[in-house]
Amino acid sequence: MNIFEKSERLGKLPPYLFKEIDRKKTEALSRGVDIIDLGVGDPDLPTPSHIVEAMKNALNDPASHGYPLYSGMASFKEAVAAWYRKRFGVDIDPEEEVCCLIGSKEGIAHYPLAFINPGDIALIPSPAYPVYNIATIFAGGESFFMPLLSKNRFLPDLDAIPEGIAEKARIMFINYPNNPTSAVADLAFFSRVVEFAHKHRIAVCHDAAYTEMAFDGYQPPGFLQVQGAKDVGLEFHSLSKTYSMSGWRIGFAVGNREAIQGLGAIKSNIDSGVFKAIQSAAVAALKGDQSSVTDMGDVYCTRRDIVVKGLKDLGFEVESPKATFYLWVKTPEGYASARFASRLLEESGLVVTPGNGFGEPGEGFFRIALTQGVERLSEAISRLGKMKF
């Protein structure tokens, strides 16, 4: 027997989408290809300077150098509660209803370990951020996929979930504004989710990483705004997209105190919390001037308009999103997602994400991340226009 034989749990994992994209990109770069990367959603804009300065100041304070509390410093949790109240009008107890995360991905990945037993079911949207399914597998659970279809505005059809599945489900993941489809949800949809969760005693996990990346005056709602939502769920937020802090690795969960306690129990046994200086920078982000959020939104909005127009002029079918920095674009007729993405990379040096990598219902689409400047985005459209499909 190989002493390094992989566990059954690892054997169940699908190939991690972005790892495969990185491999193909590296191969192209080694051939000298001028790559325009529109794949992974990593903000290219710098972290606002006042946040960086707060980090610098905290680094010089010896009090920042010791172990943090796994759940977060009191000042951070208080800043989260104040931000949430101001943004969504919902009162959050900073001590009992907030947990600091090493990025929202970490919290989402660990949450099922607290509430999923082997064989339990999690309701997972598809296409979706891969971590929902991966986290369920790590916890020994089984994923039931809820298709996100254009005819349903990329919202899950709750009525289509079999009664037997709903009765066995322990967790439901939702994500709006949505990655990868860029779809948005309203409070009426969240109300239906809360009703469904109450009926079937399901814990709702709302991944809200993109609520602050919205355009044209649109303000995405929060899940906890709905009456009864805090009784059944929690919401994950990330500073990565909102403040262009993806490499800093900090986020938070807010909501039901039992859910927060369960997540905290997992974290206290796995990690030692977020570096205090990073938490201090996050406090500056949450409590400080929010004009940088608006300014960054304006940049992405300009990029959106340029690329959407360019794609439509070339005959692609794409909607102009109200939020996120993603475009969810239909592949040309006759092209599977992976084949189309491979051809773009091989012939034009363009990296996009094939829709089927997010789940089977994503077949026939590809995702563009607007994480390049206007000049490079215009060049991408130019290269695309020279190809024949």
In order, the DSSP letters of 350-384 are EE-EEGGGG-GGGTTEEEEE--S-HHHHHHHHHHH
Cα 253 from Cα 100, distance rounded (Å): 7
- Among candidate residues 103, 111, 110, 374, the one with its CA nearest the CA of residue 241: 103
Asked if 327 contacts 183 with a C-beta cutoff of 8 angstroms, the reply is no
Residues with Cβ < 8 Å from 260, sequence gap 6 or more?
96, 97, 98, 99, 234, 253, 254
Q: Which amino acid is at 276?
A: K
Q: Dump pLDDT digits (tens) for 21-53.
A: 778 888 888 888 899 999 989 999 999 999 999
Residues with Cβ < 8 Å from 26, sequence gap 6 or more?
none
Six-digit token string for 128:
């979706």
Cα 241 from Cα 228, distance rounded (Å): 28
Six-digit token string for 331:
């592949």
- Among candidate residues 298, 315, 300, 294, the one with its CA nearest the CA of residue 368: 300
DSSP assigned state of 223: G
Q: What is the pLDDT along the chain (389 residues), one digit of tens a residue?
A: 688 988 888 888 887 666 777 788 888 888 888 999 999 899 999 999 999 999 999 999 999 999 998 899 999 999 999 999 999 999 999 999 999 999 999 999 999 999 999 999 999 999 999 999 999 999 999 999 999 999 999 999 999 999 999 999 999 999 999 999 999 999 999 999 999 999 999 999 999 999 999 999 999 999 999 999 999 999 999 999 999 999 999 999 999 999 999 999 999 999 999 999 999 999 999 999 999 999 999 999 999 999 999 999 999 999 999 999 999 999 999 999 999 999 999 899 999 999 999 999 999 999 999 999 999 999 999 999 999 88
Domains of the chain (ranges; CATH) run: 8-46+292-385 (3.90.1150.10), 49-287 (3.40.640.10)
- Among candidate residues 291, 326, 356, the one with its CA nearest the CA of residue 184: 326
Cα 331 from Cα 339, distance rounded (Å): 10
